[in-house]
Amino acid sequence: MKKPDPHPREVERLLALESYDVLDTQAEDAFDDIVQLAAHICGTPIALVSLVDEGRQWFKARVGLAAPETPRDVAFCAHAIHRPEVMVVEDARDDERFHDNPLVTGDPNVVFYAGAPLVTDDGLPLGTLCVIDEKPRRLDGKQRLALAALSRQVMRLLEARARNLELADAHRALALSEAHFRVLTEVAEEGVALVQHGRVIDCNTALEQILGRQRSELIGMEPSQVVVPTESTRVARKIREGEQGSYDTWIRRPNGTQLPVRVTARQLDEQTRVTLIRDRTEEEQLDRLKDQLISTISHELRTPLTSIRGALGLVDGGAAGE
């Protein structure tokens, strides 16, 4: 028996196989359908989707064979991955590579084998779609073409499966991110709005309280719709131009009351920004009190100064009269 050599790009090949995250996964109908079809087209009792791992070949799909894997040293598919075309062994008992292979001399008594490599876009063979029989057999041209076409379909399924896994991971990460956003914003005292494409897509309870509107009402609104009419154009321009930083404005609640707020905007990407809104009512009141205090103090200081200036003027006038 001749043991299969490592593939010339073995390290890359194994890394590619690992990246598909398919080894030791449950059976899937799409792959099972292909091995059924391959067995029917080639007229064999056994068909497999075999993935050649470092020390084994593992079967993603199989018909006519109970074993889920075999050692790589005895795997026909470990030889087939060295060839770009379908590898056919019409009678393994007469082939010096396999005549004393335990898969030939014992169960499952392989005599005929044909395997089409499963090749990535980078030219790395992951395994084969293969058909097996216990008696000698030949494949005609159409059967070879069909087996090769089905092997390409297996690769499309593997690619689609990998993309679906990536999408699932992205959705989980997004859900986790949204959960974190919700926790952080719900404990914030300031109103927080997530704005995308110029419209609110999420907000916290504090913002509902500041604006006097329910979250369901705010979702889909443009921020410029909640400010007083004289401010709507300015606010819309800031959002449209992606302006960042803080500015003061006035919002109008549904009951007609107006509220001074400070808006702080940060752009997350080209279409998304997070906006913090803080109620400035108390600050406005303090500012007015400060203005009143300064005005009062100024008046109180001005009154005696005026009297003193007047008295000094009389004194100066008297001195001039002498």
Nearest residue to 207 via CA among 125, 275, 292: 275
| Whether residue 320 has pLDDT greater than 50 | no
Query: What would the CATH number be for the domain defined by 185-282?
Result: 3.30.450.20
Q: Is the dihedral of CA 284, 290, 294, 296 positive or negative?
A: positive
Q: What percentage of the chain has pLDDT greater than the value 90? A: 58
pLDDT in tens, 94-115: 999 999 999 999 999 999 999 9
Write out the residue limits of the CATH 3.30.450.40 domain(s) in the chain: 10-168
- pTM > 0.85: no
Kindly state the tokens that stand for 206.
């504090």
Task: Give pLDDT, residue 167.
Answer: 87
Task: Give pLDDT, residue 194.
Answer: 85
Nearest residue to 146 via CA among 52, 23, 265, 39: 39
298 or 255, higher pLDDT: 255
- Mark residue 227 as left, alpha or beta (left: phi above 0; alpha: psi -120 to 50; beta: remaining): beta
Arithmetic mean of pLDDT, 169-173: 79
Q: What percentage of the chain has pLDDT greater than the value 70? A: 84
Write out the residue limits of the CATH 3.30.450.20 domain(s) in the chain: 185-282
Question: How is domain 10-168 classified at the architecture level of CATH?
Answer: 2-Layer Sandwich (3.30)
Q: What dihedral do alpha carbons 146, 148, 150, 152 form, nearest 10°?
A: -150
- Say which residue the tokens 């087209």 belong to: 41
Q: Is the peptide bond before 68 cis (omega within 30 degrees of 0)?
A: no
Arithmetic mean of pLDDT, 141-162: 96
- DSSP 8-state code for residue 37: H
